[in-house]
Structure 1
Amino acid sequence: MEREHISRTSIVIQASRADVWDALVNPATAKQYFFGANVDTDWQVGSPITFSGAFNGNTYYEKGTVLQCMPKKLLQYSHWSDLEPLPDRPEHYRNWTFELTPQDAGVLLAVTEDNIPDEAKRARSDEFWAGVLATIKEIVEAKS
């Protein structure tokens, strides 16, 4: 599998970095933008992270490892999903990276997903992340 298929999506959120960061690491908030997923981790580097729930009538279990956690700046974890037809092996894990950059109008939240197997799945990831980021923006700006 090549790492050349990478999804990159970003959005400006009119809020503080602390508020945007909280949306990324608060399981109750994440459940709202990750389609009802239960997110479980302690956010320590090297710790496991799991996502579980049901989507379109299918139960799923996704997992990974927290790779980087720099509060209010950067969050990265690996990710594997049992919804994909790929075995649970290290070469099939994608890395999800969230970067927060201060902007005049708030915070630029950028997400990168790498190790996507093909262009069609990269396009699907772009759509997924555009929706997720729009929902994060809506949630965070409503609280600010």
Structure 2
Amino acid sequence: MDHDEVFRALADPNRRLLLDALRIRDGQNLGQLCELIAMSRYGVMKHLRVLEKAGLITCERVGREKYHHLNSVPIQLVYERWVSNYARPWAGALSALKRYVEENEQMEKHIQMIFVQASAEKVWQALTDGALTKQYYFGSSIEAEWKVGGKYRYVNPDGSDLVTGEVIEIDPPHRLVTSFTPHFVPVEIPATQVTWLIEAEGDACKVTIIHEGVDTSTELGGQIGEGWSRILSGLKTLLETGNTLLLPPMGAH
């Protein structure tokens, strides 16, 4: 990820306005976003292309419409890179980035994306190998029957379940769809659906996570939204450097 691209994208007030609009209501089309800014559709499209190039938004086509989704992962990475290493001098300047990471969108479909300098096969292995998941998925090792209808569980170091579910679709090394039942909260939560998409982009891959059926305006939804940012950031760090990304506990910012 190019940090300069992220900073350039955030430097323009109109682009920040578009990001705020997607934070408040995710999944808007061009017409809806054009209502917010006093400029031509072409001008808004140019701003959206800059945001997409920086990885700050992702796009989803549904029929003839193109919907735009906020992607907080690049902001998470920039925040970790600069605030964690230069906390005092940069904390004030980057407080807006911190707000984007901590505030969660109220939506039924949560989409995040990141580019990883690794092959699709390596990314798939990192998703399905328990020895690797424990290095980026909150210390948990995945155990699974990798077939449609197969059960899976992310197992904590103490043997308890972090997340369980069932494989709905599987197409190695490009697509994995599962149900998702969290066990890190004291109440029973209905299952939702998670889709992993792995798309080759030259020598790298675009990795997209789509979590459907979760309301990120709730406390649990907020935890899940930040959790995916941390998981994707940790996955990228592991595959590109071989190291585990060390982060403070969630909520400790």
Q: Once the two structures are superposed, what CA deviation does each residue of 1:56-87 show, in whole Å capped at 9, x if it has no partner?
A: xxx54431101111001101111112333543
Tell me, yes or no, if structure 1 residue 72 matches structure 2 residue 173: yes
1:21 is matched with 124
- Cα pair 2:140 2:162 within 8 Å, conserved: no
2:52 is matched with none
* Cα distance in 2 between the residues matched to 1:83 and 1:130: 17
Q: Percent identity?
A: 22
Change (3 A) 1:61 1:126: closer
* Cα distance in 1 between the residues matched to 2:116 and 2:209: 13
What are the equivalent positions in structure 2 for 1:1-144 lying under 5 Å apart?
A: 4-53=107-156, 60-87=161-188, 92-104=190-202, 106-120=204-218, 121-142=220-241
* Cα distance in 1 between the residues matched to 2:180 and 2:216: 16
Change (3 A) 1:9 1:63: same
Q: More helix by proportion, 1 or 2?
A: 2
Instruction: State the AA in 2 paired with 1:102.
Output: A
Instruction: State the AA in 2 paired with 1:83.
Output: F
How many correspondences in the alignment?
A: 134
- Cα pair 2:216 2:224 within 8 Å, conserved: no
Structure 2 unaligned runs (5+)?
A: 1-106, 243-253
- Structure 1 length as normaliser, TM-score? 0.81
Instruction: State the AA in 1 paired with 2:239.
Output: V
* Cα distance in 2 between the residues matched to 1:82 and 1:33: 18
CA-based RMSD? 2.1
Equivalent position SS for 1:132: helix
Instruction: State the AA in 2 paired with 1:100.
Output: I
Q: State the shift of 1:122 in Å.
A: 3.6
Change (3 A) 1:12 1:76: same
Q: More strand by proportion, 1 or 2?
A: 1
Change (3 A) 1:119 1:17: same
